[in-house]
């Protein structure tokens, strides 16, 4: 049997670890595993390479994706879909594993409608915004990278007794900001799920934080504010307002901005990301070989959802259900989302002390 595998959308550390397991598992069971380059773009172009165990040896530790990734504009169109199905036939693919985030999984679900071949998805997205997977591939590494950067920034912030607003990725989901903020001893965490706050509202909250950090007889030496990209007020506007406040009320204290950007996306995957990626990769490969179609394997999925995979922490969920849950997750209505928001509130409590 010929199996294709591709990585699509924003790259995430750990994608290579998942690729490795799929290639090893498939080959060991006598199948041919084709790596499709540059996501759906490469599928449309038939840009493939046979993955041998030697080719994937040692790649679990490498960031990025050895197959390359892309966002395809043509793929979701009727023409793109037809072309993709034709290529699947031409290449003789009987199964396809898609590793990527919500966009990539949406593409997989769409492509799977007529079942041109079996399709299984693996959630990989540093934003951790995929429904029914408590952790996506890449999240743990991204959080560690942010925390390390916050440690560095804290060194210089403490040397000068300064405030810093650090903006991190996460357009629709504040998970990275929340998790990294707690770990890095942030004094405040801003995330979009908190509601669309205005500059005035944010300023009011944050000047309180600054007073607590630098006013009176506080022993604190720095103020760290972690902000998710999804908060609509621009970081530099917030910093300008806070600086005005500081100049007036706490002269001598500076407020600076750092935007972490793409630094957060790369780097050798953490041990946990390599573990999750390999266990999800194994489950996906095994599910595909057993005949699964239009499903995603998720990490720590609620026991009431989807099906057992033999790995206690991995369950198999119809992609459509996962995408529905993604919506609820992002608009805050699912139980998982509510649990996250409970955590947020707990964080707030901790920080407001």
Q: How far is the CB of 89 from a copy of itself (least distance, A)?
A: 26
- Tell me if 25 contacts a copy of itself by CB under 8 A: yes
Q: Applying CB under 8 A, which part among 10-18, 74-82, 93-101, 235-243 lies near a copy of itself?
A: 10-18
Q: What does the alpha-carbon distance between residue 68 and residue 5 come to, in Å, rounded to a whole number? A: 12
- Kindly state the number of chain residues that form the binding site for a copy of itself, as judged by CB under 8 A: 85
Q: How far is the CB of 141 from a copy of itself (least distance, A)?
A: 9
Pairing of strands 314-318, 307-308: antiparallel
Distances from the Cα of 272 to the Cαs of 44, 148, 178, 340, in angstroms?
33, 16, 18, 20
- Tell me if 125 contacts a copy of itself by CB under 8 A: no
- Tell me if 221 contacts a copy of itself by CB under 8 A: yes
Known catalytic residue at 237: no
Task: Compare residues 195 and 310 and give the one whose CB is closer to a copy of itself.
Answer: 310
* Among positions 49, 272, 305, 328, the unique one binding a copy of itself when judged by CB under 8 A: 272
Q: 132: phi > 0 → left, psi -120 to 50 → alpha, else beta; which?
A: left
Phi, psi of 159 (to 5 degrees): -65, -30
Task: Compare residues 106 and 144 and give the one whose CB is closer to a copy of itself.
Answer: 144
- Tell me if 241 contacts a copy of itself by CB under 8 A: no
Q: What does the alpha-carbon distance between residue 188 and residue 169 come to, in Å, rounded to a whole number? A: 16
Q: How far is the CB of 62 from a copy of itself (least distance, A)?
A: 7
CB distance 297 to 287 below 8 Å: yes
* Among positions 1, 275, 305, 328, the unique one binding a copy of itself when judged by CB under 8 A: 275
- Tell me if 317 contacts a copy of itself by CB under 8 A: no
Q: How far is the CB of 119 from a copy of itself (least distance, A)?
A: 22
* Among positions 85, 161, 172, 211, the unique one binding a copy of itself when judged by CB under 8 A: 161
By CB under 8 A, the residues from 182 to 211 that bind a copy of itself are: 182-185
Q: Residue 58: CB partners within 8 Å, gap ≥ 6?
A: none
- Tell me if 158 contacts a copy of itself by CB under 8 A: yes
By CB under 8 A, the residues from 29 to 88 that bind a copy of itself are: 38, 52-55, 57-58, 60-65, 68-70
- Tell me if 149 contacts a copy of itself by CB under 8 A: yes
Query: Residue 163: which of 261, 257, 232, 237 has the closest Cα?
Result: 257
Active site residues: 127
């Amino acid at each position: 049997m010929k199996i294709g595998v591709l990585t699509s959308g924003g790259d995430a550390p750990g994608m290579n670890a998942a690729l490795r397991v799929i290639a090893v598992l498939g080959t060991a069971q006598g199948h041919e595993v084709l790596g499709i380059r540059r996501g759906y773009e490469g599928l449309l172009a038939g840009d493939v390479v046979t993955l041998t165990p030697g080719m994937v040896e040692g790649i679990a530790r490498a960031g990025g994706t050895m197959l390359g990734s892309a966002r395809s504009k043509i793929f979701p169109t009727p023409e793109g879909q037809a072309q993709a199905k034709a290529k699947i036939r031409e290449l003789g693919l009987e199964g396809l594993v898609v590793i990527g985030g919500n966009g990539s999984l949406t593409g997989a679900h769409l492509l799977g409608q007529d079942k041109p071949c079996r399709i299984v998805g693996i959630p990989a997205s540093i934003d951790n915004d995929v429904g029914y997977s408590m952790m996506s591939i890449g999240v743990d590494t991204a959080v560690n990278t942010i925390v390390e950067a916050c440690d560095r920034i804290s060194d210089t912030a403490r040397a000068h007794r300064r405030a810093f607003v650090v903006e991190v990725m996460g357009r629709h989901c504040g998970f990275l900001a929340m998790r990294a903020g707690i770990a890095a001893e942030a004094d405040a965490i801003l995330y979009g799920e908190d509601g669309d706050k205005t500059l005035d509202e944010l300023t009011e909250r944050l000047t309180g934080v600054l007073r607590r950090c630098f006013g009176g007889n506080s022993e604190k030496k720095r103020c760290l504010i972690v902000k998710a990209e999804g908060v609509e007020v621009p970081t530099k506007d917030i910093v300008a307002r806070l600086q005005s406040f500081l100049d007036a009320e706490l002269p001598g204290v500076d407020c600076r901005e750092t935007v972490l950007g793409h630094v957060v996306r790369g780097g050798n995957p953490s041990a946990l990301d390599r573990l999750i990626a390999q266990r999800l990769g194994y489950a996906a490969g095994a599910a595909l070989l057993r005949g699964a179609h239009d499903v995603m394997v998720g990490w720590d999925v609620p026991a009431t959802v989807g099906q057992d995979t033999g790995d206690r922490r991995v369950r198999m969920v119809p992609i459509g259900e996962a995408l529905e849950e993604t919506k609820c997750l992002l608009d805050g209505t699912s139980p998982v989302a509510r649990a996250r928001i409970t955590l947020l509130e707990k964080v707030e409590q901790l920080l407001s002390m």
